[in-house]
């Protein structure tokens, strides 16, 4: 019986972090599941002695994983959406246990970046039509929740991307999203719960967007969308988040059984893991007992791609909270080394601190630093790095555990009364984020709630988001400039 660190059980009532699965990583799960179709038998040769199989790194497998965790996000932008064929690298996502939660992102980001070219402002464009059909069918085929195909309002600001996707203005982005939403509404079937993505680069745009798109969650439709996706400024600006939530409650668009899920795109800050838990709990108490907030990021995978591993967690009282990432051991002298990975990186001063994960604790230094001097890599050349592709996969697994654990541990600490500096103001009197949030939602009165939000405007500004306008930049000229100048 494998010893498991069951992260699903440890999730409690915290806002839910969704690892944004890398297809590079899921590819290794697939390689083991489909060995016959795999010319490159890297798993057989490379599987560390400490790991029973690749499924031990698949957190969506509750029986075999070293760290079962039933939540994830997968993006259409990385996926093979042809469900008529078996695709090994998609199998971790497609063939997973029934009670797992998979949020399928729609690829709106790919449109905005010009990676999915087409005339997206033209509802009749055939290439876009095909992509829409593919994505919604794929979402319905593989996911429990799906995002609408939103086109961020900043799309037109990138000239090259704007040319590629045909979105030339803010209004083009709104109109194209409107059309995509109608398409999603008309095409949906089955159990897929659809999240209505909100965009906007500032409060004015976000309000306009919300007022345009909110109908898709209303009883104007027989089967309205089932929740909300927070993009653009909505995902990084607490002031806007709270205003929106109060408005949603007031307008009957956060109803139990109808709009139970809200997802924050690309959110990696630990403080947000805690504050979103506060918001979720408060709303469960006062408005919708089913309400769940999720947030995703790809940091565990991106960090590895940059040669970095999560080493430890920093959660000092009144300090900045973060998971620490550092460049780790990459040296051919370690090839075939049998000492534990952790022992070596600490002994040789590569990291001052290194907290093992259920994966790293089973690794030797040679499992990561695979190539010895003179060894040739897959393309028949001697590279500078001692890592092969599988080294990255192993460290990604370690990083995913670290990230989920960091989110959960941060919430544990927060519940114990240890506070991140961002979520408490003590300049004049002690003001806790969680207390203000509770006052906002227990007021159950739109004007009172909004007044409390506005009264604490400076507090919200001090809570930095992952991207967008945050901190002092949150108050800026963009909105009025757009209103005054053409």
Partner 1 sequence: MRDYLLDLVEHSYDLGCIDLIKVTGTDTETSVDGLAEDKSVVLQAKFAAPVADYIGTFGMPNLAKLKILLNIGEYKENAEISVKRQERNGENAPVGLHFKNAAGDFKNDYRFMVSEIVAEKLKGVKMKDVPWDIEFEPTTASIMRLKMQAQANAEETTFQTKTEDGHLKFLFGDHSTHAGDFVFQHDVGGKLSKSWSWPVQQFIAIMNLTGDKTVRISDSGATKITVDSGIAVYNYILPAQSK
Closer by beta carbon to partner 1, 44 or else 471: 471
Q: Binding residue for partner 1 (CB under 8 A) from 456, 465, 467, 468?
A: 456
Closer by beta carbon to partner 1, 21 or else 164: 164
Closer by beta carbon to partner 1, 302 or else 478: 478
Closer by beta carbon to partner 1, 167 or else 410: 167
Q: Binding residue for partner 1 (CB under 8 A) from 23, 310, 459, 465?
A: 459
Rounded least distance, CB 458 to partner 1, Å: 5
Tell me the C-alpha distance between 386 and 403, whole Å.
Answer: 25
Could you tell me which stretch among 119-127, 140-148, 181-189, 457-465 binds partner 1 (CB under 8 A)? Answer: 457-465
Cα 435 to its chain centre, rounded Å, is 27
Cβ count near 328 (within 10 Å):
24
Q: Which of residues 412-431 bind partner 1 (CB under 8 A)?
A: 427-428
Rounded least distance, CB 366 to partner 1, Å: 51
239 binding partner 1? (CB under 8 A): yes
53 binding partner 1? (CB under 8 A): no
Rounded least distance, CB 460 to partner 1, Å: 9
Rounded least distance, CB 330 to partner 1, Å: 39
Nearest CA-CA partner of 97 in 66, 65, 74: 65
Closer by beta carbon to partner 1, 289 or else 447: 447
Tell me the C-alpha distance between 24 and 300, whole Å.
Answer: 12
Q: Binding residue for partner 1 (CB under 8 A) from 13, 219, 445, 455?
A: 455
Closer by beta carbon to partner 1, 158 or else 260: 158
Which H or E run includes 259?
none
Tell me the C-alpha distance between 458 and 238, whole Å.
Answer: 11
Rounded least distance, CB 295 to partner 1, Å: 21
Tokens describing residue 212:
């345009």
- DSSP-assigned letter for residue 8: T
Rounded least distance, CB 319 to partner 1, Å: 21
Nearest CA-CA partner of 216 in 258, 265, 275: 258
Tell me the C-alpha distance between 106 and 147, whole Å.
Answer: 6
Cα 56 to its chain centre, rounded Å, is 22
Nearest CA-CA partner of 69 in 92, 101, 29, 30: 101
Contacts of 463 (CB under 8 A, 6+ apart): 238, 271, 275, 422, 423, 433, 470
Closer by beta carbon to partner 1, 6 or else 479: 479
Size of the site for partner 1 (CB under 8 A): 27
Cβ count near 53 (within 10 Å):
15
160 binding partner 1? (CB under 8 A): no
Q: How far is CA 369 from CA 18, 289, 361, in A?
A: 29, 49, 15
202 binding partner 1? (CB under 8 A): yes
Distance in angstroms between the alpha carbons of the first and the last residue of the chain? 67
Q: Binding residue for partner 1 (CB under 8 A) from 6, 204, 292, 385?
A: 204
Q: Binding residue for partner 1 (CB under 8 A) from 90, 237, 255, 278?
A: 237
Closer by beta carbon to partner 1, 241 or else 313: 241
Residue 292's SS3 state is: strand
Could you tell me which stretch among 21-29, 89-97, 306-314, 452-460 binds partner 1 (CB under 8 A)? Answer: 452-460
Tell me the C-alpha distance between 332 and 373, whole Å.
Answer: 6
Rounded least distance, CB 474 to partner 1, Å: 6
Our CA angle for 419, 423, 429, nearest 5°, is: 95
Residue 229 exposed, middle or buried by CB count within 10 Å (0-12, 13-18, 19+) = buried
458 binding partner 1? (CB under 8 A): yes
Q: Which of residues 466-485 bind partner 1 (CB under 8 A)?
A: 469, 472, 474-481, 483-485
Tell me the C-alpha distance between 407 and 398, whole Å.
Answer: 14
Closer by beta carbon to partner 1, 412 or else 475: 475
Q: Binding residue for partner 1 (CB under 8 A) from 128, 240, 248, 350?
A: 240
Rounded least distance, CB 253 to partner 1, Å: 22
Rounded least distance, CB 401 to partner 1, Å: 37
Rounded least distance, CB 280 to partner 1, Å: 23
Tokens describing residue 399:
């990083």
Provide the binding-site residues for partner 1, judged by CB under 8 A.
202-204, 237, 239-240, 427-428, 455-459, 469, 472, 474-481, 483-486
């Amino acid at each position: 019986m494998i010893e498991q660190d069951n992260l699903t059980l440890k999730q409690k009532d915290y806002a839910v972090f969704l690892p944004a699965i890398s297809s590079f990583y899921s590819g290794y799960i697939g390689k083991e599941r489909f060995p016959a179709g795999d010319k490159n038998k890297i798993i057989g040769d490379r599987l560390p002695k400490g790991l029973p199989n690749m499924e031990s790194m698949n957190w969506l497998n509750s029986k075999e994983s070293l760290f079962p965790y039933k939540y994830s996000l997968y993006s259409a932008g990385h996926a093979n959406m042809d469900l008529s064929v078996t695709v090994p690298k998609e199998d971790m996502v497609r063939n997973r246990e029934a009670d797992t939660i998979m949020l399928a992102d729609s690829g709106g980001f790919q449109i905005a970046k010009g990676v999915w070219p087409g005339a997206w402002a033209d509802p009749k464009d055939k290439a876009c039509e095909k992509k829409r059909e593919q994505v919604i069918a794929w979402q319905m085929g593989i996911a429990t929740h799906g995002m609408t195909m939103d086109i961020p309002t900043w799309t037109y600001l990138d000239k090259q991307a704007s040319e590629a996707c045909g979105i030339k203005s803010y209004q083009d982005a709104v109109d194209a999203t409107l059309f995509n939403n109608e398409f999603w509404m008309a095409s949906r079937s089955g159990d897929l719960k659809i999240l209505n993505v909100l965009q906007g680069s500032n409060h004015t745009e976000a309000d306009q967007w919300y007022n345009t798109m909110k109908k898709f969650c209303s009883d104007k439709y027989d089967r309205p969308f089932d929740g909300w996706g927070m993009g653009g400024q909505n995902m990084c600006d607490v002031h806007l988040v709270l205003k929106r939530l109060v408005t949603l409650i007031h307008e009957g668009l956060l109803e139990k059984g109808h709009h139970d899920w809200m997802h924050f795109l690309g959110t990696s800050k630990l403080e947000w893991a805690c504050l979103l838990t506060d918001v979720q709990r408060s709303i469960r108490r006062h408005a919708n007992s089913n309400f769940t907030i999720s947030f995703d990021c790809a940091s565990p995978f991106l960090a590895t791609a940059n040669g970095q591993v999560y080493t430890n967690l920093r959660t000092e009282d009144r300090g900045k909270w973060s998971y620490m990432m550092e460049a780790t051991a990459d040296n051919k002298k370690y090839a075939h080394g049998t000492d534990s990975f952790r022992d070596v990186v600490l002994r040789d001063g590569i990291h001052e601190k290194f907290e093992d994960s259920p994966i790293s604790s089973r690794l030797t230094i040679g499992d990561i630093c695979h190539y010895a001097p003179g060894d040739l890599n897959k393309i028949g050349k001697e590279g500078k790095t001692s890592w092969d592709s599988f080294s990255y996969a192993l460290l990604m697994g370690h990083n995913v555990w670290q990230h989920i654990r960091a989110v959960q541990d941060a919430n544990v600490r927060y519940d114990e009364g240890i506070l991140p500096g961002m979520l408490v103001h003590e300049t004049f009197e002690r003001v806790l984020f969680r207390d203000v949030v509770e006052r906002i939602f227990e007021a159950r009165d739109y004007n009172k709630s909004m007044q409390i939000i506005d009264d604490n405007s400076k507090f919200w500004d001090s809570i930095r988001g992952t991207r967008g306008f945050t901190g002092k930049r949150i108050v800026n000229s963009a909105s009025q400039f757009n209103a005054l100048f053409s």
